[in-house]
């Protein structure tokens, strides 16, 4: 039988390669590309120029000239940001501005995620940085200090080491986000280095909002105007006096295709404007089979699974999630499961998977992903076996939709709105 072969980016942080999947040529196949992949990756010089000449604030060297201690918070391995290309230049600017080397430290903005190891820090920041400077895990359960309340009355507790600095910097990326429309920006601060009490409060509000609007767990992807978090995040930025933001916008290979830097609120708004155009994807509905790749955030592949489910026909179809993540799904102390029928205070239940998912299939060379995604899913390490399962109930003319990376794409909201649910 003649087949069409599709390449999917895989193994983010663990070798960067392409997975090849094949589907019958007599199927009606729609492949949703990522606009960011059509852009040129930034050169080292372009990255440094963007950081050196921010439009919305003084540059790092100027800021450092007036300060004594710098703390740099950064996103963890659940985000594809390659900070090994950025962190050394940031340090160079701080030293040139007069901050002493022993007064510079880094904190992984883990939020409610599990702690990182030295190997994780090395992947994210590079060996040079971790050999010269202290790099800390954020602990949401201890060593957080009260700094005030947001306009909605949320109590704000933040990492003590971060608050001890008089120059505060955040580095990460902007990608579509299930709750806030887009990640990055002040999310590195809230929830990134907040106490669990604060993290739980803001996420409870976000979850309740999605439920009340009936839009599902990924209902705000790419729709930051619907966010119930952003005003609280902006308040946190102002209260803690976060000084400088660097946000990368990556392609599916984790290469920077755009970058914003400067004032945390202004730079983030600029970055979101770019992100809206380079991560949007066409919405194809009424599919018999949906294949959603998870790579940029491979260890948060539930995002891809739930986004892909939106394209299935109402009467039910097959959903395949492609996820090759050797570490498995991220440990999440708020949403994660820690036993057969219990977990974090906002633990996600099995009924989060839409009813239109008739069969959930996880294709991965690393078995066990289902326990972080969909416990009822069928797992397979062989694409031939996956294809055999699909062909059992899908023949000629099958409508198949493929998302090249459902963790960094968001569905065109105008197209989604035009289709009655």
Query: Could you give the CA distance from residue 363 to residue 335 in angstroms, rounded to a whole number?
Result: 23
Q: Is 236 left (phi over 0), alpha (psi -120 to 50) or beta?
A: alpha
Residue in the block written with tokens 């976060």: 242
Tell me if 63 is assigned to some domain. yes
Strand, coil or helix: what is 106?
A: strand
> Would you say the C-alpha torsion 27, 28, 33, 38 has a positive or negative sign?
positive
Domain count, the chain: 2
Element (H, E) at 29: strand 28-32
Q: Are residues 15 and 73 in the same domain?
A: no
Q: Flag residues of the chain having pLDDT under 50.
A: none
For the chain, the C-alpha Rg in angstroms (whole number) is 21
Query: Do both 327 and 198 map to the same domain?
Result: no
Last residue of a domain, one of 229, 260, 278: 278
C-alpha–C-alpha distance, residues 337 and 371, integer Å: 9
In a domain, 91, yes or no: yes
The helix/strand/coil state of 8 is: strand
Coil, strand, or helix at residue 396?
coil
260 and 186 within one domain? yes
Element spanning 104, H or E = strand 104-108
Task: Please report how the helices 87-97 and 44-52 are oriented relative to each other, as an axis angle in degrees rounded to 10.
Answer: 40
Enclosing H/E stretch for 182: strand 181-182
Does any domain span residue 20? yes
Q: Which of 235, 252, 278 is the last residue of a domain?
A: 278
Please tell me whether residues 347 and 252 are part of one structural domain. no
Residue 374 CB neighbour total at 10 angstroms: 23
Which domain range does residue 380 map to? 3-34+281-417
Quick one: pLDDT at residue 228?
82
Q: State how far the Cα of 165 lies from the Cα of 378, in Å rounded to an integer.
A: 49
- Which residues fall within 8 angstroms of residue 64, CB to CB, at 6 or more apart? 70, 93, 94, 95, 96, 97, 98, 99, 167
pTM, 2 dp: 0.96
Asked whether residue 133 is assigned to any structural domain, the reply reads yes
pLDDT in tens, 133-156: 999 999 999 999 999 999 989 899
Asked if 319 contacts 359 with a C-beta cutoff of 8 angstroms, the reply is yes
Is residue 69 located within the same domain as residue 200? yes
Read off the CATH number of the domain in which 366 is found: 3.90.226.30
pLDDT of 250 = 98
Tokens 């040129």 correspond to 40
Say how many Å lie between the first and final Cα of the chain, rounded: 36
- Say if residue 90 is in the same domain as residue 145: yes
Last residue of one domain, picked from the residues 255, 278, 301:
278
- Say whether both 91 and 144 belong to one domain: yes
> What is the 8-class DSSP label of residue 53?
S
Q: Are residues 252 and 290 in the same domain?
A: no
Same domain as 367, residue 251: no
In terms of domains, do 337 and 265 share one?
no
In a domain, 39, yes or no: no
What CATH number should be reported for the domain holding residue 128? 3.40.50.11440
141 in the same domain as 98 = yes
Q: How many CB atoms lie within 10 A of CB 340?
A: 7
Give helix 264-278 / helix 230-240 axis angle, nearest 10°.
150
Classify residue 191: in a domain, yes or no: yes
Q: At a CB cut-off of 8 Å and minimum separation 6, what does 193 contact?
A: 73, 107, 109, 110, 111, 138, 158, 159, 162
Residue 96 maps to a domain: yes
Cα–Cα dist 107/188, whole Å: 10
- Element at 164 (helix H, strand E): none
Mark whether 361 and 227 lie in a shared domain. no
């Amino acid at each position: 039988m003649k087949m069409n072969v599709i390449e999917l980016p895989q193994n983010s942080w663990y070798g960067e390669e392409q997975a090849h999947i094949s589907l019958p040529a007599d199927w009606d196949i729609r492949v949703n590309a990522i606009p960011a992949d059509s852009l040129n990756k930034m050169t080292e010089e372009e990255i440094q120029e963007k950081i050196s000449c921010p439009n919305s604030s003084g540059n790092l060297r100027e800021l450092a000239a007036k300060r004594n201690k710098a703390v740099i918070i950064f996103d963890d391995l659940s985000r594809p940001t390659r900070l090994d290309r950025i962190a050394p230049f940031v340090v160079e600017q701080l030293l040139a501005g007069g901050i002493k080397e022993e007064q510079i430290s880094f904190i992984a903005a883990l939020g409610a995620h599990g702690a990182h190891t030295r190997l994780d820090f090395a992947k994210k920041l590079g060996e040079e940085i971790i050999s010269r400077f202290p790099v800390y895990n954020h602990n949401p359960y201890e060593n957080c200090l009260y700094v005030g309340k947001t306009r909605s009355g949320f109590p704000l507790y933040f990492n003590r080491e971060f608050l001890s600095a008089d120059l505060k910097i955040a580095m990460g990326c902007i990608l579509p986000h299930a709750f806030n429309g887009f990640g990055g920006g002040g999310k590195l601060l809230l929830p990134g280095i907040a106490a669990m009490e604060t993290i739980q409060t803001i996420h409870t509000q976000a979850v309740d909002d999605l439920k009340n609007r009936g839009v599902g767990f990924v209902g705000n992807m790419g729709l930051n105007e619907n966010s119930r978090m952003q005003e609280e995040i902006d308040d946190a930025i102002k209260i803690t006096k976060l000084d400088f933001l660097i946000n990368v916008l990556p392609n599916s290979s984790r290469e920077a295709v755009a970058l914003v830097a400067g004032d945390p609120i202004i730079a983030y708004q600029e970055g979101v404007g770019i992100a809206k155009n380079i991560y949007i994807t066409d919405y194809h509905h009424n599919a018999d089979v949906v294949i959603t790749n998870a790579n940029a955030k491979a260890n948060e592949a539930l995002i891809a699974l739930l986004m892909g489910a939106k394209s299935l026909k109402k009467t039910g179809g097959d959903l395949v999630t492609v996820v090759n993540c050797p570490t498995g799904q991220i440990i999440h102390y708020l949403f994660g499961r820690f036993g057969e029928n219990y977990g974090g205070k906002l633990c996600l239940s099995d009924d989060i998977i839409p009813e239109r998912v008739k069969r959930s299939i996880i294709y991965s060379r690393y078995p066990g992903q289902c326990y972080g995604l969909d416990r009822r899913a069928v797992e397979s390490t062989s694409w031939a076996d996956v294809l055999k399962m699909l062909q059992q109930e899908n023949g000629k003319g099958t409508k198949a939709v493929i998302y090249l990376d459902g963790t960094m794409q968001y569905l065109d909201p105008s197209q989604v709105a035009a289709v009655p649910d």
